[in-house]
Structure 1
Amino acid sequence: MSAYKISASRFSAALLVITGLFMAPGSFAAELNLPDNLAIKAIDGQAVSNFDSHKLAAGEHVVEIQYRDIFAVNADDSGAWVKSGPLYLTLTVAGQQSLQLQLPTLDTEVEANAFIRSPQLQVVDEAGQAVPAEVMTHGGLMADWLAQLRR
């Protein structure tokens, strides 16, 4: 029984050290901020908590996001939720940056549904300069992946 406790405590200590190394200040190159109607579901295939901003290490990333917003025609209307399926944002992070995802203005349910069918968004840095990024639906991502496999 005591051997188990020693092993468990060593494992816990090792896990804390490893976590500390990955979470050390300066280990992330960028902070990715998003508007209220976007949620990050995963980064590089790893599920994440739903916060307004996320840290990204330097390098290339695939960020799974979901659009959701509610639209009401008038004050008596309880509104209709518009939600996308998974959307995939690919971008390369270099250097210490604060990045912001920006959506086009979506004032109506029709505009939101058009965005979901053909998603377009922009990633900008703290200076307002566009950062190269591409957003795709799940179908677009799979088509791109298959095209790369065939090369």
Structure 2
Amino acid sequence: MFSKTTLATIAASALSLSTLFVAPLTQAAQVSLPDDLQVLSIDGHSDNNTSDTLQLNKGSHVLVVRYRDLFSGITADDSATWVKSQPLYLQFSVDTQNVALTTPTLDDVADAQTYLKHPYLDITTNKADSRRFSLQPAANVIADLLAAQR
């Protein structure tokens, strides 16, 4: 059958969780990513790209991303700590040439853990539009799909 991740991607594509821009498919848009965001898949296709930019056709897309960042210890003797999220889903549409996805500036492990309780991305375009979108774990995407079928 389908894996939980595949089902959530299908569900996110089927539901309009959040729409930023609406436009027909034409030339590619450049999407810049922060260093602390790893793209796991784009529109249901695995992404092994380690670049800080994506080329996406204009139109609607579903990204599966993971937040991950390394925080230094308080003293030199403390080891660094990785903070990583589960796969998170974002559905958005692009109609401009340049789009920037950004996460908030987080100073320590506690800030990162608080952020991951309600993760979000700010999306800014070359038109100077900026909006905040919640990132959703797979369970929430599947729950939204099931609720929409009632």
TM-score range, shorter chain: 0.7 to 0.9
Shift in Å, 1:48: 1.0
Q: Indicate the residue corresponding to 2:93 in structure 1.
A: 92
Higher helix share: 1
**Contact 1:39–1:52, Cα closer than 8 Å, also in 2:** no
Does 2:12 match 1:37? no
Give, as a single letter, the amino acid of the residue that structure 2 aligns with 1:35: P
**Contact 2:36–2:69, Cα closer than 8 Å, also in 1:** yes
* CA distances 1:51-97 after superposition (whole Å, capped 9, x unpaired): 21111112211101100011122222221110001011110112x42
Q: Give the secondary structure class of the aligned counterpart of 1:117.
A: coil
Larger Cα-atom Rg: 1
**Contact 1:91–1:134, Cα closer than 8 Å, also in 2:** no
Q: Indicate the residue corresponding to 1:140 in structure 2.
A: 140
Shift in Å, 1:130: 1.2
Shift in Å, 1:34: 0.8
Give, as a single letter, the amino acid of the residue that structure 1 aligns with 2:139: G
| TM-score, normalised relative to structure 1 | 0.73
Alpha-carbon RMSD across the aligned residues, in angstroms, is 2.0
> Structure 1, unaligned stretches of length 5 or more?
1-25
Map 1:1-150 → 2, pairs under 5 A = 28-49=27-48, 50-72=50-72, 73-94=74-95, 96-131=96-131, 133-150=133-150
Shift in Å, 1:102: 1.2
> Structure 2, unaligned stretches of length 5 or more?
1-24
Cα distance change, pair 134–61 in 1 and its aligned pair in 2 (3 A)? farther
Measure, in 1, the Cα distance between the counterparts of 2:86 and 2:114.
Answer: 13
Q: Give the secondary structure class of the aligned counterpart of 1:145.
A: helix
Give, as a single letter, the amino acid of the residue that structure 2 aligns with 1:92: S
**Contact 1:92–1:132, Cα closer than 8 Å, also in 2:** no
Shift in Å, 1:132: 6.9
Query: Looking at both structures, which has the greater relative contact order when contacts are Cα pairs under 8 Å and sequence separation is at least 6?
Result: 2
Identity over aligned residues, as a percent? 36
Moved over 4 A (4+): 131-134
